[in-house]
């Protein structure tokens, strides 16, 4: 009887450890009541949530930058086409990302293009001074400034998207991240080519 008990108790402990390992709670949280780390569901993890919440304001700023350049006269036609394509691609992604957050029970991401924390981050976001310089520029200088800023902006988006591809679990979020990487890398090359000929 004692021998049987010795086998049963380790079995119960092992089962408990397996169940604990299957928890979908955030790894960063040390308390069930903790709200400091993003909650996760069966459909997403903390990387998915962070990707969506950061990419929305990032995309919003790209749309704002495009609006600034599209409102100007004397802009290179290739830059106008690019800005129109960026707007057409990123606004639907903003809507889709906020839809994902809603389905995961997460707060909607900020739609303020200046809302992200730039302290030491590598997100490629423009500062208020950068945006003001773009707004003040005209003609070829405006085209050049837009391209230079958008290359940095896209590089930041690609970096953020790669983290999602590497760490995310939601298939829709990972697929969008891969699409961002593919599309924006192509756009970066296009922008560099245009810059060389301005």
pLDDT at 115: 54
On the question of pLDDT at 92 being above 60, the answer is yes
Q: Which residues pair with 44 in a beta bridge?
A: 41
Cβ pair 40, 49 in contact under 8 A: yes
Which of 14, 77, 58 minimizes the C-alpha distance to 184? 58
Where is pLDDT greater, at 88 or 115? Answer: 88
Distance separating alpha carbons of residues 39 and 127, to the nearest angstrom: 30
Task: Name the region of 73 (left: φ>0; alpha: ψ -120 to 50; beta: rest).
Answer: beta
Note the pLDDT tens digit of each residue in 47-89: 999 999 999 999 999 999 999 999 999 999 999 999 999 999 9
Domains of the chain: 46-197 (1.20.1260.10)
On the CB side of 132, how many CA atoms lie within 13 Å of its CA?
A: 3
pLDDT at 18: 34
Structure token pair of residue 68: 């600034």
pTM of this prediction? 0.75
Q: How far is CA 169 from CA 86, 88, 120, 160, in A?
A: 26, 27, 27, 15
Distance separating alpha carbons of residues 189 and 67, to the nearest angstrom: 21
Cβ pair 187, 152 in contact under 8 A: no
pLDDT at 24: 37
């Amino acid at each position: 009887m004692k021998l049987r008990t010795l086998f049963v108790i380790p079995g119960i402990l092992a089962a408990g450890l397996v169940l604990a390992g299957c928890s979908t709670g955030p790894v960063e949280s040390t308390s069930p009541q903790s709200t400091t780390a993003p909650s996760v569901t069966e459909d997403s993890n903390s990387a998915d949530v962070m990707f969506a919440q950061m990419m929305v304001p990032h995309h919003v700023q790209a749309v704002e930058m495009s609006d600034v350049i599209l409102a100007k006269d004397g802009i290179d036609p290739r830059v106008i086409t690019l800005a129109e394509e960026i707007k057409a691609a990123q606004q639907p992604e903003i809507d889709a990302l906020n839809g994902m957050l809603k389905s995961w029970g997460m707060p909607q991401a900020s739609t303020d293009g200046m809302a992200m924390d730039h302290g030491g981050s590598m997100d490629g976001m423009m500062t208020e001074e950068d945006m003001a310089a773009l707004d003040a520029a005209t003609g070829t200088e405006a085209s050049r400034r837009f391209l230079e800023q958008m290359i940095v902006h896209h590089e930041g988006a690609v970096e953020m998207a790669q983290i999602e591809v590497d760490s995310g679990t939601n298939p829709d979020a990972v697929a969008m991240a891969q699409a961002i990487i593919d599309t924006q890398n192509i756009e970066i090359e296009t922008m560099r080519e245009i810059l060389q000929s301005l």
